[in-house]
C-alpha cells in the first residue's frame, strides 16, 4: 500500500508530534480533534517546534512553511477518509479509544489501515472492537515524538503481515527506528520504564532522598539522560498512573501496585509540566 496521507486523531502532545514527524518528510496530514481550540493549539505547538529547529539551523523558513502547509486541521472525522493510514493518539483511556475506533470504522474505507498510539492497552482487545482487526496495529511513539527515534510496532493476534510491513515501512520513512514487539501490557519499553518511575515515587514517599537527589542518582549512577521523577513530569503523572493501573489489573500482581503518593498527586491535579506542577514546579 502506498501511504500518501496520514490521519491523526488527537492534536495533543503525541498527536501534534506525530503530525510534525510526518509533515517534515513530505507526507500530507489530517489532524483531527474535538474543538477548533484544540486543533489550533496543536498547530501552534508544531509551529513552535519548527521554530526551534530553525534557531538550531536544522530547518529553513521555507521548509517550515512547507511542513505546516501539509497539515490540515479539522474537527470533522470525515476529513480522515482520504488518509491511507489513520493513527489514533487520544488520551490513554480504553473506553475512549474504543469509542473513537468504532467511529472511525464506520467512516473509513475498508482498505484503510488504523494504528493506535497506546502505551499500554491491549492491541488484540482494541482490534476486536473494530471491523478491520487484520488492518489494525499498535504504533507507539515516544515523547517528544519529533526527537525520539524509537517506535514500537505492536502486533495484535489478528494483525496481518501486510499491515505490519506497511506500518514498519512508514516508521522508517519517518526516520524512526522501529522494533516489532508482541502484544502484552506495556509492551517492552514501558513494561520496564513505568514500574521504575513508580518505584521512584515509593522512594520519594518514604523520604529516602529528595526529588533532586533521586534524579541525580539515576542520571549519574545509571547514565540516564533524565531522572525518573523529572521524566514522570514530562510524560504526565496521570499517564504514568494510568499505565500502572493497567499493569496492576492485567497482571494481577502486587508488584505493579501504583504508589499512593503518585495517586494523590494526580488527584490534586499535579500532573507535571502540562499543569505547571508535578514533582517539580514549572
- Binding site, by residue number, is 49, 56, 119
The whole-angstrom separation of Cα 194 and Cα 15 is 21
Q: Which residues are annotated as a binding site for CoA?
A: 49, 56, 119
Among the options 117, 152, 183, 198, which is catalytic?
Answer: 152
Among the options 16, 120, 140, 198, which is catalytic?
Answer: 140
Among the options 117, 120, 190, 198, which is catalytic?
Answer: 190
- Our answer to whether residue 119 is catalytic in this structure is yes
The whole-angstrom separation of Cα 200 and Cα 216 is 12
- Our answer to whether residue 35 is catalytic in this structure is no
What distance, in Å, lies between the first and last C-alpha atoms of the chain? 45
- Our answer to whether residue 190 is catalytic in this structure is yes
> Cα-flanking dihedrals φ and ψ of residue 187, to 5°?
60, -125
Give just the sign of the alpha carbon dihedral 149, 243, 130, 181: positive
Among the options 119, 120, 122, 198, which is catalytic?
Answer: 119
Q: How far is CA 72 from the centre of its chain?
A: 20
- Our answer to whether residue 92 is catalytic in this structure is no
Give which of 97, 93, 177 is closest to 141, Cα–Cα.
177
The whole-angstrom separation of Cα 160 and Cα 269 is 41
For the annotated catalytic residues, the residue numbers are: 119, 140, 152, 190
Amino acid at each position: 500500500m502506498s501511504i500518501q496521507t496520514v490521519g491523526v486523531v488527537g492534536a495533543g502532545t503525541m498527536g501534534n508530534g506525530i503530525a510534525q514527524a510526518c509533515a517534515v518528510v513530505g507526507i500530507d496530514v489530517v489532524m483531527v480533534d474535538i474543538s477548533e481550540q484544540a486543533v489550533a493549539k496543536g498547530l501552534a505547538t508544531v509551529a513552535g517546534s519548527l521554530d526551534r529547529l530553525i534557531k538550531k539551523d536544522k530547518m529553513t523558513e521555507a521548509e517550515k512553511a512547507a511542513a505546516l502547509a501539509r497539515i490540515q486541521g479539522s474537527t470533522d472525522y470525515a476529513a480522515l477518509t482520504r488518509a491511507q493510514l489513520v493513527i489514533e493518539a487520544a488520551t490513554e483511556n480504553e473506553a475512549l479509544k474504543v469509542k473513537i475506533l468504532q467511529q472511525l470504522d464506520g467512516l473509513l474505507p475498508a482498505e484503510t489501515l488504523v494504528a493506535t498510539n497506546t502505551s499500554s492497552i491491549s492491541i488484540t482487545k482494541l482490534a476486536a472492537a473494530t471491523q478491520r482487526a487484520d488492518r489494525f496495529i499498535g504504533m507507539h511513539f515516544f515523547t517528544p515524538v519529533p526527537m525520539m527515534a524509537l517506535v514500537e510496532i505492536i502486533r495484535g493476534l489478528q494483525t496481518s503481515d501486510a499491515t505490519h510491513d506497511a506500518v514498519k515501512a512508514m516508521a522508517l520513512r519517518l526516520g524512526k527506528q522501529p522494533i516489532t514487539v508482541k502484544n502484552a501490557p506495556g509492551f517492552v519499553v514501558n513494561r520496564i520504564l513505568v514500574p521504575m518511575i513508580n518505584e521512584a515515587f515509593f522512594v520519594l514517599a518514604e523520604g529516602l532522598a529528595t526529588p533532586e537527589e533521586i534524579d541525580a542518582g539515576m542520571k549519574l549512577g545509571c547514565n540516564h539522560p533524565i531522572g525518573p521523577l523529572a521524566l514522570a513530569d514530562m510524560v504526565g503523572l496521570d499517564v504514568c498512573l494510568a499505565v500502572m493501573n493497567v499493569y496492576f489489573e492485567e497482571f494481577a500482581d502486587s508488584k505493579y501496585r501504583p504508589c499512593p503518593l503518585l495517586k494523590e498527586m494526580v488527584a490534586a491535579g499535579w500532573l507535571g509540566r502540562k499543569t505547571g506542577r508535578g514533582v517539580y514546579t514549572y
